[in-house]
Amino acid sequence: MQTLMVELDERSYPIHVGPGLIDRGDLYAPYIAGRQVMIVTNETVAALYLQRVKAQLGDYQLAETILPDGEQYKTIDCVEQIWDGLLAARFNRRATIIALGGGVIGDMAGFAAACYQRGIAFIQVPTTLLSQVDSSVGGKTGVNHPRGKNMIGAFWQPRAVIIDTATLESLPPRELSAGLAEVIKYGLIRDLEFLAWLEDNVEALRALDAQALTKAILRSCAVKAEIVAEDETEQGVRALLNLGHTFGHAIETDQGYGRWLHGEAVASGMMMAATLSARLNDLDAAALARVETLLRAAGLPVHAPEGMSSERFLELMRLDKKVLDAGLRLVLLDRLGQARVEANVDEALLVEMLNAYPRATLARQRDDSIG
């Protein structure tokens, strides 16, 4: 087991990473506030891991909320189910929520914790690569709205994050690849050395090599923690974490939640951001090719969805919350390993890039990648 401390003054917390950690009751105990524990999970994850987690918590008053599996259930209605469960169990403000599952479960359980009696403790037990490297750090919680992703939410920090790398063995390969999109992002925005390591190790990661996974997860969390520590409430440098996300959110909204995985949409979005950076002469052709090669090697799409027009991209991007009242803000690359926020993107250039950017169905791109 290796541990990374996320330093946030009185809200600092540990991220433990290693195989078999969900069976380590001693890792949960120090972070459970009172005697009441609510486990929030989904039907898929419950079948795999719920009993094992409960077996470690026999001394507590336990309750559970098992939600349906999928991004389309990341709604205020599901969060209300958690609140109803907490109140039905008569849990007080010293109760603790354990989020057992991927990012959707973590975001909803964290938001439920943030707002139950104005804030209770929660512990993250992320079981997908995406949530392990993305949701473990930053304190973002919330739900989607029919008009946009993550529109309702709060900043709320976990007391601890427990990452069991062995849970990735039950993860579909497609979701592992989606998680790798965020891992690659950390290399692209801030760490050229890590990016090069990923180019050498992407096959080992896809083959679930434990040592490679541990390094990739820890390094990803460390990069994110550095950035978040500099900017906890997302006024400045933290915006760099959104590389590919404005394009990606547009893809997800257009396609309907859950059709493209978040990581797949972000991968395609990062490729679009890199392409725009190349048009601005920040990236040369060789650098752009490295981005595409690595994304493809990770099993990720690099084209936009078939049939999604440039106009549709612009329409959806304008609603994105990273777009301020004036101008069009995007994260672009100065070079590999260094990103910047471009506050006033030239809309004509953006449209030109969007028009020229290749489209393909997701299925076709996945066939290419697997083949």
Q: Which residues contact 286 (CB under 8 A, 6 or more apart)?
A: none
| DSSP strand pairing (338-342 vs 330-335) | antiparallel
CA quadruple 224, 225, 226, 232: dihedral sign: positive
145 assigned ligand-binding residue: no
Helix (H) or strand (E) holding 18: strand 13-18
Least distance in angstroms from the C-beta of 351 to a second copy: 20
127 assigned ligand-binding residue: yes
Query: For residue 162, what are the β-bridge partners?
Result: 16
> Quick one: 34 or 258, whose CB is closer to a second copy?
34
3-class SS at 221?
Answer: helix
Residues within the interface to a second copy (CB under 8 A): 34-36, 76, 80, 83-84, 87-88, 90, 92-94, 111, 114-119, 140, 142, 145, 147-148, 150-155, 233-234, 318-319, 321, 323-325
Q: Find the distance separating the first CA and the last CA of the chain, reported in whole Å.
A: 36
34 assigned ligand-binding residue: no
Least distance in angstroms from the C-beta of 189 to a second copy: 21
What are the distances in angstroms from CA 244 to CA 31, 147, 195, 276, 314?
Answer: 34, 20, 16, 11, 14
Place of tokens 């690569």: 129
Q: How far apart are CA 328 and CA 192, in angstroms?
A: 27
> Quick one: 81 or 165, whose CB is closer to a second copy?
81
226 assigned ligand-binding residue: no
* CA angle, 259 then 199 then 184, to 5°: 40
> Quick one: 50 or 109, whose CB is closer to a second copy?
109
Least distance in angstroms from the C-beta of 323 to a second copy: 7
> Quick one: 52 or 93, whose CB is closer to a second copy?
93
128 assigned ligand-binding residue: yes
16 assigned ligand-binding residue: no
Whether 142 contacts 79, CB under 8 Å:
no
> Quick one: 74 or 215, whose CB is closer to a second copy?
74
Least distance in angstroms from the C-beta of 30 to a second copy: 17
Comparing CA positions, the residue from 92, 93, 166, 158 lying closest to residue 124 is: 158
Helix (H) or strand (E) holding 152: strand 148-155
72 assigned ligand-binding residue: yes
Residue 85, sorted as left (phi over 0), alpha (psi -120 to 50) or beta, turns out to be alpha
Report the amino acid identity of residue 214: T
Least distance in angstroms from the C-beta of 172 to a second copy: 30
- For the annotated catalytic residues, the residue numbers are 118, 140, 182, 224, 234, 238, 242, 245, 249, 262
Least distance in angstroms from the C-beta of 119 to a second copy: 7
299 assigned ligand-binding residue: no
Q: How many CB atoms lie within 10 A of CB 69?
A: 19
DSSP 68: P
> Quick one: 122 or 357, whose CB is closer to a second copy?
122
Residues of each annotated binding site for NAD(+)? 69-74, 103-107, 127-128, 140, 149
Residues of each annotated binding site? 69-74, 103-107, 127-128, 140, 149, 182, 245, 262
Residues of each annotated binding site for Zn(2+)? 182, 245, 262
